[in-house]
Amino acid sequence: MKTYFLKKIKSKKKNLKHLPFLCLLGMSLQTFIGGVLGYLLTEFYVKKANEKQKKFLPASLFLPLPFFKWKFKFHHWLYGLSALLLNLKFSLIQSPFLLAILVGISWHDLVEDREWYLYLHRK
């Protein structure tokens, strides 16, 4: 008769994909709500874009590179990052709520898309 007192305990991998939202909550409730709202709006938008098969603005844009056989995939995390960088340079947006929405847009693609780092594709 075998006894199974000591079962192997599988270590659960900690899911830290939403850690930046906790950082936003540490700043203020306003930035936390903005980040979550940006994330959820992007989630809704990407699902609708995939359902409609790009009948309106797709989640990612492909830009052909002249003189090369490559095209540049402009992911939606780059949308948010470029808007944040433009804001750092020109101070266009003063509201932390709107800046947190941009962080939520960027964070959605980094978390949900496994190929967020692939931005060059052959034609």
pLDDT digits (tens, 9 = 90+) for 57-83: 666 777 888 877 888 888 888 888 899
55 pLDDT tier (thresholds 50, 70, 90): low
Which has the higher per-residue pLDDT, 77 or 9? 77
pLDDT score, position 59: 65
Residue 48 phi/psi, 5-degree rounding, is: -65, -40
Q: 119: closest CA among 69, 72, 76?
A: 72
DSSP character string of 35-72: HHHHHHHHHHHHHHHHHHTSSSS-SSEEEEPTTSSEEE
Domain residue spans of the chain: 21-114
Q: Confidence band (pLDDT; 50, 70, 90) for 5?
A: very low
